[in-house]
Amino acid sequence: MSQTLSVSSLNNQIKSLLETTFLHVSVEGEVSRPTYHSSGHLYFTLKDADSSISCVMFKGNTRTLKFQVEEGMAVVVHGSISVFSPRGTYQINCTMMEPSGSGALAKAYEQLKVKLGAKRYFEAEHKKSLPRFVNHIALVTSGTGAALQDMLRVATKRWPLVKITLLDTLVQGEGAKFAIASNIARADVLGADVIIVGRGGGSVEDLWAFNEEIVADAIFTCKTPIVSAVGHEIDYVISDFVADLRAPTPSAALEMILPDSVEMLQRIDGLMERYNLVFGRILRSKEESLTHLTRLFAKRSIDEKLSLWKNEIGILQSQYNDKIALLYREKSRQVNLLKEQIIFQTRQNLAKKEQLLSSYTIALNSKEPTREQKECYAQIVKGGKKIALEKIAEGEIFELQTLHTILKAKALEKKVLIKES
């Protein structure tokens, strides 16, 4: 009879057996219900037509994934079996994952291409035009690579006057994507006419830094026109689609943006030849016109010229006289109008003054002493001075005077009718 085991003991034995037996497994299946946890872990189910198994990929391993795990994706996972004893369940602890059929890099490439396409990174409306004549180039590439020497050689041959600023950059391996993105941002503030981002040829893994989203973002946000020159003509990377111009090779990038000095000199010679030809025609035409005018001028006598000038002076004199006459008439009209206004105003003022004088005369005449005397009034004088009647005391002697008569009198009695206040 077999030994009776507890549930825990049985699960622990199963755990020991499975975890020691399936240390390294590779399983192919279809991803179902993938869940990216906030902790960074990835949980999903791997299934085929007849069965399924739970899987987990912890944060440290998910960082190495080059692609986004999606529902229904066919993948191959590598890892080991782990058992959770309290529940008696087991799962695959995945350390690596790759798409079935095509490689992980190819899948990541296509996913990022679709993602950036949805963000309109590849649209022509976002492409910046390169200047016709480039004076300053910023190179984001390795300072020790053969590609740099190829580019410098082409630049020296085609256009020696160009200024080149090198930003020595890690272009493959860990940290390459961050170095490329950082140096693109640095190059954008140098005032260069063009930035060339690139490197020489290599494997897909060697060129992978130029397929990273952080590099694509740096190229898209850069304000300076960018040329992507990565690998050989057959190599296409994400930076080629985002950049303003794609060059098949690094040296081809310099050939595309720099004019050929020899061709430029030939063009200048051709332009000079055309200029001399056109200028010669214009000069001959002007000489012929000058000769013709000289002959016409010579045909006219001095008398004819004087007569023409006299007629012109007469016309000008007549125009001057007409303008002076017109001006005189206008000023005369204004003077006459002003004169009439002054006369009218003066008459009005005189009438007012005469009326005022008349009123003053009437008032003055009404106060005249002779007029008062005619109405039986006499002045009271004492001591040679006029005095009011109220000032005379009883017994005082005074005079009553009119225009023709002086009468001495004495106050016999004085009566006050109203006392002064």
No. of helices (H) and no. of strands (E), the chain: 11, 14
Do 195 and 137 have their domain in common?
A: yes
pLDDT at 371: 53
pLDDT at 228: 96
Mean pLDDT of the chain: 86
Do 141 and 227 have their domain in common?
A: yes
Cα 406 to Cα 294, 402, 403: the distances in Å are 119, 6, 8
Q: In what order do the strands lie in the sheet with 406-410?
A: 385-386, 379-382, 397-401, 406-410
Do 250 and 142 have their domain in common?
A: yes
In whole angstroms, what is the distance from residue 143 CA to residue 166 CA?
A: 7
Tell me if 110 is assigned to some domain. Answer: no
DSSP code at position 132: S
Tell me if 1 is assigned to some domain. Answer: no
Phi, psi at 171, each rounded to 5°: -115, 0
In whole angstroms, what is the distance from residue 368 CA to residue 403 CA?
A: 12
Do 252 and 173 have their domain in common?
A: yes
Res. 64: pLDDT tops 60: yes
Do 56 and 141 have their domain in common?
A: no
Domain end marker among 238, 259, 280: 259
Do 148 and 199 have their domain in common?
A: yes
pTM over 0.85: no
Tell me if 267 is assigned to some domain. Answer: no
Structure tokens of 69? 């795990």
Tell me if 308 is assigned to some domain. Answer: no
Tell me if 331 is assigned to some domain. Answer: no
Tell me if 217 is assigned to some domain. Answer: yes
Q: What percent of the chain has pLDDT over 70?
A: 93
Cβ-Cβ contacts under 8 Å for 8 (sequence gap 6 or more): 85
Domain count, the chain: 3
The closest alpha carbon to 137, from 193, 73, 62, belongs to 193
Res. 119: pLDDT tops 60: yes
Over the stretch 299-310, which tens digit does the pLDDT of each residue have? 666 667 777 778
Q: What range defines the domain where residue 188 resides?
A: 132-259
Pair 39, 57: CB distance under 8 Å = no
Do 147 and 46 have their domain in common?
A: no
pLDDT at 102: 56
Tell me if 149 is assigned to some domain. Answer: yes
CATH of the domain at 249: 3.40.50.10550
